Amino acid sequence: MIRIKLCGVRTPSDALLCAEAGADEIGVVFAAKSRRRVTFDQARAIRDALPTRIPLIGVFLDATSEEVAAAVRAIGLFAAQLHGAWFPAVDSFPGLPLYAALQVGSELALDALLQRPTAARVLLDGPGGGSGKPFAWSLVARARQLHPAPLLIAGGLTSDNVAQAIREARPDGVDVASGIEGLDGFKDPAKVHAFVKAVRSSYENL
């Protein structure tokens, strides 16, 4: 089954909404300038609210090893998704899966995958992560040539276009934040359920 990561969760109630709708994993953002940023206390509350079967992924932008390690210790993250120029050696965090995330404006951006050979997973995001802008899904085929890890796509996905994205990109999973939010920036129940349903239906019809 294709994996569904619902990201940018900021409250325990939104986390439960996403879990009950069928999310395979939940993402919490620690990037300093993100409007979805959560504190360690908020992330712990989200972790405590989730069923144990749902992994919690920490999302970081240009974080240092010390910052990532502090979050892992404080919260009990399942994995760290790393955006930005820095990617650590695999032995920097024993036992912690590290996911490489790239903002893709063109095919040239994919060359960064060659500097991340130990990434346990790859996320291709639209230019300007968190902006809700898509990238060219046709680039996924090139990314698979450069890196063997499972690959997720993000950027501008909604319940209206995710089926087309899956048909064109054939990813191992999808990741969404803005596409399931209401005007207040929190998760919208109708959008969450519609997105998960659209993903599951598209996978069954591949």
Q: What is the CATH number of the domain that holds 50?
A: 3.20.20.70
Is residue 42 situated within a structural domain? yes
Is residue 164 situated within a structural domain? yes
What confidence score (pLDDT) does residue 69 get?
A: 93
| Token representation of residue 203 | 């996978």
Is residue 205 situated within a structural domain? no
Is residue 66 situated within a structural domain? yes
Give the total number of structural domains in the chain: 1
What confidence score (pLDDT) does residue 97 get?
A: 94
How big is the CA angle at 43 (ends 161 and 75), to the nearest 5 degrees? 120
| Token representation of residue 154 | 């993000």
Rounded distance between C-alpha atoms, residue 154 and residue 55, angstroms: 18
State which residues form the domain around 138: 3-200
Question: How many C-beta atoms surround the C-beta of residue 160 within 10 A?
Answer: 11
Rounded distance between C-alpha atoms, residue 106 and residue 151, angstroms: 17
What confidence score (pLDDT) does residue 144 get?
A: 96
Is residue 206 situated within a structural domain? no
Distances (CA, A) of 37 to 27, 130, 185, 194: 11, 11, 12, 25
Q: What phi, psi does 122 have (nearest 5°)?
A: -120, 135
pTM score of the predicted model: 0.94
User: Nearest-CA neighbor of 58 among 87, 79, 40?
Assistant: 79
Is residue 35 situated within a structural domain? yes
With a cut of 70, which residues of the chain have pLDDT below it?
Answer: 90, 129-131, 205-206
Is residue 108 situated within a structural domain? yes
Is residue 23 situated within a structural domain? yes
What confidence score (pLDDT) does residue 190 get?
A: 98
Chain-centroid distance, C-alpha 100: 10
How far does the chain reach from its first CA to its final CA, in angstroms? 11
User: Nearest-CA neighbor of 1 among 18, 17, 25?
Assistant: 25
